[in-house]
Amino acid sequence: MPELTIGEVAHQAKLRTSALRYYESIGLVSASRRVSGQRRYDQSVLQRLTVIQLAQEAGFTVAEIKALFFSFPPETPAFERWQAMAKEKLVQINGLIQKAEAMKMLLEEGLLQCRCLTLEECAQCISERQP
């Protein structure tokens, strides 16, 4: 199994080399080095990056993803890690959804229904709708 250059990894994982260097700088992935200093990646980094992208899609920050990998006792099963972290995240996401739904409401039922001629009037017009 050949080792991969940073460019090859970037290509396969569909991200930029700068992102890989950034991940390394925060300790999220690691690479070995040639004598010259160039990075060489093991194939397994691709799985690691897939998991990182998966976690990002679920709304985790890179700091949280780092915690996912490194803040549990080494033998902790993956599903336990997800359990622990996904529960909290769900609460956050639900908050996000609620906020966005509230914005949608305000836009549809408030601002798009408004008949004020001046914006100054709107200081009252909307609040009257929510007693």
Contacting residues toward a copy of itself, per CB under 8 A: 44, 46-48, 50-51, 54, 57-59, 68-69, 77-79, 81-83, 86-87, 89-90, 93-94, 96-97, 100-104, 106-108, 110-112, 114-123, 126
What is the sign of the dihedral through the CA atoms of 34, 40, 43 and 44?
positive
Question: Of the two residues 57 and 75, which places its CB atom closer to DNA in the complex?
Answer: 57
The binder of 30, among a copy of itself, DNA, none, by C-beta within 5 to 8 A per type, is none
End-to-end Cα spacing for the chain: 68
Q: How far is the CB of 103 from DNA (least distance, A)?
A: 13
